[in-house]
């Protein structure tokens, strides 16, 4: 009886540790970044190399996991003030800062080494992403809403990173992928900031444009959503090197972007959390589908 209760206890401990590890490295977010990187790779490559795909997935995951771990170390005290984050392993006291630091540093070294084994440019962009996220974006969050602009840079690197991993070059094509994911960050993040406005306020963060939750903020969301739709269909003009799309694909993307625009306009009219949530969910749908659509379009050429 004692032996079985010991093994149950060990299993529970392991489950808790694993759950904390997943929370520290934000597995869901990390996997969405890996998805972006792999889509960028498939868009660029002439022949799919399974090893490169696996290395890119692991390197990308470690890179984002490291950024998230560093972020939670820095924001341990502010995380404790917000309902959404107070049960994370560090503010809840289930994990020591030194343990989180070991994970963050190990992930950084291992992730960059793996990206470097693909090519040096991939490692360089990985390093820029971790540095900007942890050393610029995170410290700026309590100071200015402009932190969102800085945070959009590392947030936009993954899609582009896949192209760089496939080609070892940085040119107009990965630049275009960067722009698409860059503009997407704003409506997506501001929808979250709208939903979390009071919680963020408690922690001393004010991340809405101009610091207010009002119609002016939603105008910014509408502008950036419109820019996102425009940059998403620029490849139809065949001015972006080897990255181009069919006119029918551009029409599909405009229709998809219009869903986001519709919810942004609804948010402008009603200014409630319901519309902000719809906008946030439609933005997740948009960035997922656009990557799939681009890849499908490429393989139809």
Q: Are residues 205 and 232 in the same domain?
A: yes
Matching residue, tokens 């503009």: 183
Out of 170, 195, 215, pick the residue that ends a domain.
170
Q: Are residues 268 and 153 in the same domain?
A: no
Q: Are residues 155 and 248 in the same domain?
A: no
Return the SS3 of 239: coil
Q: Are residues 66 and 103 in the same domain?
A: yes
Q: Are residues 197 and 130 in the same domain?
A: no
Q: Are residues 239 and 271 in the same domain?
A: yes
Domain that holds residue 196: 171-301
Model confidence pLDDT, tens digit, residues 180-226: 999 999 999 999 999 999 888 888 888 898 778 899 999 999 999 99
Q: Which among 177, 157, 152 has a CA at the least distance from the CA of 111?
A: 157
Q: Are residues 54 and 25 in the same domain?
A: yes
- Structural domains of the chain, count: 2
Give 248's contacts (C-beta < 8 A, 6+ positions apart). none
pTM, entire model: 0.91
Model confidence pLDDT, tens digit, residues 170-189: 999 999 999 999 999 999 99
Question: Which CATH number do you get for residue 33?
Answer: 1.10.357.140
Q: Are residues 149 and 215 in the same domain?
A: no
Q: Are residues 133 and 234 in the same domain?
A: no
């Amino acid at each position: 009886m004692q032996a079985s209760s010991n093994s149950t206890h060990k299993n529970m401990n392991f489950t808790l540790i694993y759950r904390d590890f997943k929370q520290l490295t934000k597995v869901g977010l990390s996997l969405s970044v890996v998805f972006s990187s792999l889509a960028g790779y498939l868009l660029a490559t002439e022949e799919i190399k399974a090893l490169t795909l696996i290395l890119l997935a692991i390197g990308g995951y470690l890179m984002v996991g490291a950024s998230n771990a560093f972020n939670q170390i820095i924001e341990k005290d502010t995380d404790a003030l917000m309902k959404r984050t107070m049960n994370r392993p560090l503010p809840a006291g289930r994990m020591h800062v030194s343990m989180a630091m070991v994970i963050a540093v190990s992930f950084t070294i291992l992730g960059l080494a793996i990206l470097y084994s693909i090519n040096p440019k991939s490692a360089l962009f990985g390093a820029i992403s971790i540095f900007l996220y942890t050393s610029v974006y995170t410290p700026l969050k309590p100071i200015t809403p402009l932190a969102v602009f800085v945070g959009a840079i590392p947030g936009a690197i993954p899609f582009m990173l896949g192209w760089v991993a496939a080609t070892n070059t940085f040119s107009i094509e990965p630049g275009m992928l960067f722009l698409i994911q860059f503009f997407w960050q704003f409506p997506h993040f501001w929808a979250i900031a709208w939903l979390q406005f009071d919680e963020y306020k408690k922690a001393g963060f004010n991340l809405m444009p101009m610091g207010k939750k009002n119609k002016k903020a939603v105008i910014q969301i509408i502008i950036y959503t419109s820019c996102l739709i425009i940059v998403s269909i620029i490849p139809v003009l065949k001015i972006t090197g080897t990255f181009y799309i069919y006119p029918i694909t551009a029409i599909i993307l405009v229709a998809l972007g219009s869903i986001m625009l519709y919810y942004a306009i609804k948010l402008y009219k009603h200014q409630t959390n319901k519309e902000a949530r719809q906008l946030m969910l439609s933005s997740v749908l948009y960035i997922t589908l656009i990557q799939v659509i681009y890849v499908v379009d490429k393989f139809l050429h």
